[in-house]
Amino acid sequence: MSPIRDPAKYKKPSITLASIFWALVAVFISIGIITTVLYYFIPFRAYGKFIFPSILAVLLILSIVLLVIAVKEKVGGILGKFLILTGASAIGIAVGIILENFLTGTVGESIFFIIGVMIAPIGFLVGVIGSMVLFVKRRKAA
């Protein structure tokens, strides 16, 4: 087997790393659900200014923790790259949304809106799908 595809060569991710990853995926899904509920159900819109910043802070914290743990554990190969893409994209989502709100009325508002709402979520989904596939593949190989 080539060294690129040899799963035994790379260190298996820890339970902590996998837990942080799945928690980050759950928070991302909950952001989509909360955004949908706040958009379509008018009575809940008043609570959005309290709920959304806190869940965005959780997304930011989990993504930073995922990046730190993935780099610290030296998860190699393509799984490490997908995990870093997932964490960096989640940080891009949070920072893009925060900066878009702070830069209201400037050119930066549109730039950070595009980054936070369009570009970074695509990178996040690519990282999540790739990581999921490799987590399942490594579990079957073990």
34-62 tens-digit pLDDT: 888 888 887 777 777 788 889 999 999 99
Average pLDDT over residues 130-140: 84
How many CA atoms, within 13 angstroms, populate the side-chain half-sphere of residue 105?
Answer: 0
Residue 25 has pLDDT above 90, yes or no: yes
Residue from 52, 85, 53, 42 nearest 66 by CA = 85
Average pLDDT over residues 110-130: 93
- How does the average pLDDT of the chain come out, rounded? 86
